[in-house]
Amino acid sequence: MVLEIKDLKIQYKTDLETVYAVNGISLEMEKGETVGLVGETGAGKTTTALGVMGLLPERTARITEGSILFEGQELTRLSDREYEKIRGNKISMIFQDPMTALNPVLTVGSQIEEALELHNTDNLSKAEMEHRVEETLQMVGIPKERKNDYPYQFSGGMRQRAMIAIAVACEPKILIADEPTSALDVSVQQRILQLMKELKKEMGLTILFISHDMGVIYDICDEVAVMRDGRIEETGEKEDFFAK
C-alpha cells in the first residue's frame, strides 16, 4: 500500500465558527493505480489533498483525528522540516489554476530547477540540472527552447503542462491532481489527460485525481471514491461504479 488514509478528520476554526471539512474518511491507494476522488464543491476533496501534502493553513486548519500513512510512515506526526523532504519529492501536487500556482516573475525553466534544487539528492551539477530541466519539459510536451519563457507567454494548456513538469521533476511516487483540467477547453483537456496517462505508465506513478466531472473520472481513473459533506459515501472499481 503506497498511501493509506484512516479515519481522517480535519476542521477549520475561526473566531466565528468551526467548519468540519473532513469527517472520518478512509482511503487506500495501491502502487500504480489512479483513484478518482469525486464530489461537489465543498465536499472536502481539496482539504483532504492539502492534508496529505501537509499544506493546510496553519492558523485555521488542523487534523483532529486519524492517520495518513505513506509507505508505512505516519505523515501527521512529521515536523515541517521532515515534511519538506517528502513534499514535492515523494508526493507532488498539481493545483487547479496554473496561472496562480506558477510564479509570474520566474521563467518556467527556473521554477522546475527550483524544485530540483530543493531535493537534489543526486548532487547534480549546474549543467546536469539544466539538462534535467530540458528533459522534463520535453517529457510533458513543451519544447526545451521555451525554458526561458514566463508563464504569461504560455497558453492555458501549456501552463498546465508546466505545472505537471514541476510536479514530476523529482520523480515522485504519488501525484495529486486537483481538478487539473477544469479550466481548460475540451480538446486541451483530452491532451492533458492523455499526458497524465503516459506519465503514469512511464514513471509508475500512483495518482489521486480530484474532480467533479464524471466524464474525466471515467477516462483516467481505475477506482472511484465519492465524497460528500466530508465523508466518502461510496467506493468501487470504475467499471462497476459506472455500471450502476
- Residue 65's pLDDT is what? 97
| 31 Rama sector, left if φ>0, alpha if ψ -120 to 50, beta otherwise | beta
Distances 109 to 113, 123, 148, 176 between C-alpha atoms, Å: 6, 19, 6, 22
Helix (H, G, I), strand (E, B) or coil at 83: helix
Strand 91-94 relative to strand 174-178, pairing: parallel
- Residue 121's pLDDT is what? 61
Q: What element of type H or E holds 211?
A: strand 206-211
What average pLDDT values come out for the chain (244 residues) when binned by 10 residues? 96 93 96 95 95 94 97 94 92 86 94 88 80 95 96 93 94 94 85 93 96 92 96 93 85
- Residue 186's pLDDT is what? 87
Q: What element of type H or E holds 128?
A: helix 126-139
For the beta sheet containing 91-94, the strands, ordered from the edge strand earlier in sequence to the opposite edge, are 91-94, 174-178, 206-211, 34-38, 223-228, 231-237
Backbone angles phi, psi at 195, to 5 degrees: -60, -45
